[in-house]
Amino acid sequence: MFNYSNILTELRKDGYYRERMAVDSPQDRYIVIKNKKVLNFTSNDYLGLANSDYLKEVFYKKIRKYGVGSGSSPLISGYSTQHKELEQELTRLTKLDSTVVVNSGYLANVGLINALSDKDVVILQDKMNHNSIIEGTRLTTSQLVRFHHMDYSDLSEKIKNIKNKIKIIYVDAVFSMTGESSDLKKLSSIASENDALLVVDDAHGFGVIENSSKNFPSSLSKYHKSDIDIDAYIGTFGKAVGLFGSFISGKRDIIELVIQKSKPYIYSTALPASLAGTILESLRYIKKNTSLNIKLSENIKIFREIAKKENINIQESETAIQTIIVGEPKKLKKIQDSALEAGMYIQAIRYPTVPKNNDLIRVSLTSSHSIKDIERLLYFLKTI
């Protein structure tokens, strides 16, 4: 018989057992864990908005007007004018045809794949794609083909051999565990040469990636519109936007298909209208307050400069996610514990989130960090 307690014993023995840390404060530059105030390097709240006074005021006002719950799924009565306005704004920001707001980034991927899937569909994925994309595909009758991480020759080779099927290339725009960015121009041309769709999950780029143009910060804003052709684009509200929820923008028929066919969309209670309205204000706030993204970019640059100067072996990444491979889960856990003792919370990422022996420290930088915070972390990491 299947022995569940053996599985737990094995996890403990191998150093892969996960413990949740109960935070007793708002998400911010400092958080309180086990009655101790610690400098937070683990949050995806990249623009420091999760505890913003402005957004809290907006949320209170929206709650007074729309209440706290949505009462039902979007196709019954859970969809509101707040959701509709938010979708219209996201369509303008992404410059795609249409948008649907969904309950989380995880469900955006599971739900989109659910709507697009069929036994004649093949979904080609980068090996380092987020779990929701891989697991979302495994839940369907579609075929899953994985290509080596950011290896576009491997993708071209694999896609060429697929005949008489609907092909979908599906990637993270920014890889959540390494911070590397996919080449969307190259992927667009592979998709077009092979008559495939291209779907991009920009959970860690939406609201984050700064550029000099007037576009809303995202991985799309780095490219000329004519250089990329995206069929569906996913962004989340739980990271840079500071709240919770997600959306899918894209070609009109694809979004329509999600609304008509996606089971996680159809059979789940909608986000509250008060939350949808606050998300909309957060997007406007990000667009207006460009200094947040400028500060985040400066922090990323400073982190990398000091790390290199101090010979700390950081991996390649131009985004807010910076990593150091430790390779050994028990050693990694010890580093995390001693960082906590020193007043800093860093994330230890272990197998199976990353491949075996690639266990790593993942540092999330935000616009709230000061240069002193970054120096403090790096001088600590230098001693390990």
Ligand X SMILES: Cc1ncc(COP(=O)(O)O)c(C=O)c1O
Candidates 27-35, 98-106, 213-221, 327-335 — which segment interacts with ligand X by CB under 6 A? 98-106
Query: Is residue 238 a contact residue for ligand X (CB under 6 A)?
Result: yes
Residue closer to ligand X (CB basis): 248 or 378: 248
For 72, 78, 275, the CA distances from 63, given in Å and listed in that order, are 17, 15, 8
Query: Is residue 367 a contact residue for ligand X (CB under 6 A)?
Result: no
Residue closer to ligand X (CB basis): 178 or 378: 178
CA distance 236 to 226: 24
**Parallel/antiparallel/unpaired status of strands 36-40 and 98-102:** unpaired
Over the window 193 to 232, marking each residue x when it contacts ligand X by CB under 6 A and - when it does not, the resulting string is: --------x-xx----------------------------
Query: Is residue 233 a contact residue for ligand X (CB under 6 A)?
Result: no
Over the window 122 to 151, marking each residue x when it contacts ligand X by CB under 6 A and - when it does not, the resulting string is: --------x-x-------------------
Q: Which residue is nearest to ligand X (CB)?
A: 105
Residue closer to ligand X (CB basis): 208 or 326: 208
CA-only gyration radius of the chain, Å: 21
From 46, 59, 66, 106, residue interacting with ligand X (rule: CB under 6 A): 106
CA distance 91 to 39: 36
Taking the complex as a whole, the smallest distance from the CB of residue 245 to ligand X amounts, in Å, to 7
Query: Is residue 105 a contact residue for ligand X (CB under 6 A)?
Result: yes
Evaluate whether 366 touches 47 at the Cβ level (below 8 Å): yes
**What is the total count of residues that contact ligand X (CB under 6 A)?**
13
Taking the complex as a whole, the smallest distance from the CB of residue 201 to ligand X amounts, in Å, to 5
Query: Is residue 236 a contact residue for ligand X (CB under 6 A)?
Result: yes
Q: Contact residues for ligand X (CB under 6 A)?
A: 104-106, 130, 132, 172, 176, 201, 203-204, 236, 238, 246
